[in-house]
Amino acid sequence: MTVQPLANGFCFGEGARWFEGLVWFSDMLGEAVHTVTLQGEMSTLALPGHAPSGLGFRPDGTLLIASTKTRQILAYDGETVSALADLTDLVPADLGDMVVDAHGRAYIGSQAREGGVIVALDPDGRATVMAEDLSFPNGMVISPDGTFIVAESTARRLTAFTVADSGALHDRRVFADGLDGPPDGLAVDAEGGVWAAMTLAHQFERITGGGTTALVTDRIDMAGRTAIACALGGPEGRTLFLLSSTDAYPERLIGTRLSTLDAVSVDVPAP
């Protein structure tokens, strides 16, 4: 696999998504959301006063943005940004990553190292805690068979849930344990394989559910850079977009512009 540079010059990229021919991602320390074309042209949505992280799109195209420290969910309709929900009373720590299901329901992680939770925000505005006692819940995906998978960074594992028709998460179980490093952002492919950013291992790995032992089918070495987040997309769904930085701890990168967005072709496409 050959990693190709696509864009740089931003502070700390997170929450990568592919939508309508563009790569979207948060610049958490740069208080912005960026979009990048396949030719590397970058545009910026400024979010002063917010440190954005998780992103997700509702079926109507509305972009949802997790504002980490304000613990709010923002909505961007293509013209204006508005506060959609305040989750402060439901969460024990700052917000992190997000995934939005086909019904427009958003799942948002609150990144406590112990006692982390996942909150579901329904299209009608109702917010409910759906999972508790997680170890720094980070990247989240919903696989083609409907399995909900979350990265527990400090536990170095991927945890799976079954999603009820109501959106509730139940039947908690281990998807993959004993990972090579703390997992951050996730992306899922058409076969249910999960690409995970392995921060301190400096690589991206494709993992299939193996329970107590992670089954790694592919590795992408980042030459010492910290793997942060990834997304599957491109014209045929076979491009894996990679966000990386020079440090796993954002506070050490304030004022820098050392994060990069790269791309690599993979065999199994997006769902």
Catalytic residues: 184
Distance, C-alpha 143 to centroid of its chain: 14
Is position 236 annotated in a ligand binding site?
Answer: no
Query: Any idea what the Cα angle at residue 79 is, between residues 78 and 82, rounded to 5°?
Result: 95
Give the CA-trace dihedral at 84, 115, 245, 158, to 10 degrees.
-100
| SS3 state at 260 | strand
Q: Tokens standing for 37?
A: 């074309």
Contacting residues for 209 by C-beta, under 8 A, at least 6 apart: 158, 160, 175, 176, 192, 215
Residues 114/135, Cβ–Cβ less than 8 Å: yes
Is position 184 annotated in a ligand binding site?
Answer: yes
| SS3 state at 54 | strand
Residues 186/172, Cβ–Cβ less than 8 Å: no
Is position 41 annotated in a ligand binding site?
Answer: no
Is position 31 annotated in a ligand binding site?
Answer: no
DSSP state of 211: B
Q: Tokens standing for 13?
A: 């990229």
Q: Tokens standing for 151?
A: 């990265």
Query: Cβ–Cβ contacts within 10 Å for residue 132, how many?
Result: 14
Integer distance in angstroms from the first to the last C-alpha of the chain?
Answer: 21
Stretch (H or E) spanning 182: none
Residues 221/203, Cβ–Cβ less than 8 Å: yes
- Report the binding-site residues: 14, 114, 138, 184
- Report the binding-site residues for a divalent metal cation: 14, 138, 184
- Report the binding-site residues for substrate: 114
